[in-house]
Amino acid sequence: MAGAVCVDARVARRPGLRLTRGMRLDVQVDVERLRPQAAARSGPLAPVIHVLYRDEWLVSVAKPAGLQTHAAADTRLDDLVSATRRLLNVPYLGVHHRLDRDTSGVVLFSLDPAANAGLAAAFADRAVDKVYHALTTPGARVPGRPWRVEGLLALSGSGLRARMTRVAAGGKRAETSFVVRQRLPRACVVEARPLTGRKHQIRAHLAECGLPILGDRRYGGPTAVGGARVVRAMLHAVRLTLPHPVSGRSLRIECPYPEDFASLLRQLGGRLDTTKPSR
């Protein structure tokens, strides 16, 4: 479930997947975590966490898809905060933002409480530039230039069918700017910058625009494209830019596409460069 198993170059998280002759399996194994002491502490399928940036006050890691940010009620499930604390062997992590379970990419924590006030102010004052890339359906009418979606969002439904929808009153204001980076025959690569931090904001806004994210069943995204199965919502937090909460200098943290995102993009004929705009 942590995304450590790939079948034919695609991440496979379904335990009941039937294997046939000729399939290629690639498995990432952290041998240290298989030892009895580590297994008792974190389980044999502990997620692989990569550090993107670290200093005396902050640490940023690449969250794998399929891993929740915070601990859940089910204590058998691992989470990013716990996994990062184990990796770094630190007593404290300050949490200032989160990603959905299926979303991969940059997450930033504080290592010292002295950084908390500055981080909280940066997020509250919109001084943090958050950039996401999504693989979406091609869309019937894809805008040719940047556009913005704003309005009130509220939760509708319950359980696995719960989703954020636009409402006329009673919801929370949500605003996201978008631009298409790549137009492909069977998909688009859309860059999203959320200006507010509402639950499922990017997913709901793209679905509203007729561009549901591939693999995002809750918001109408297809689970197969071009003959390839899409096992999760293809949304990746590619970059965070913010003033350092202690030094004040500009800090830019980037996270490459994970293998499942990159593999699907390659199959769809797209390029993997996360910095060049579409032409």
Q: Is 208 exposed, middle or buried (0-12, 13-18, 19+ CB in 10 A)?
A: middle
CA 172 vs. chain centroid, Å, equals: 22
- Catalytic: which of 74, 78, 100, 112? 100
Tell me how far apart the alpha carbons of residues 121 and 128 are, in angstroms, rounded to a whole number: 10
Tell me how far apart the alpha carbons of residues 151 and 173 are, in angstroms, rounded to a whole number: 6
- The radius of gyration of the chain's CA atoms, rounded to the nearest angstrom, is 19
What is the token pair recorded at 152?
A: 């009130």
DSSP characters for 2-37?
A: -S-EEETTEE---TTPPP-TT--EEE---GGGGSHH
What is the token pair recorded at 221?
A: 């995204």
CB proximity list for 50: less than 8 A, separation 6 or greater: 61, 62
Cα separation values, 262 from 11, 96, 211, Å: 11, 28, 19
Tell me how far apart the alpha carbons of residues 136 and 277 are, in angstroms, rounded to a whole number: 17
Q: Judge whether 100 counts as a catalytic residue.
A: yes
For the beta carbon of residue 69, count every other beta carbon within 10 angstroms: 17
Task: Tell me which residues are annotated as active site.
Answer: 100
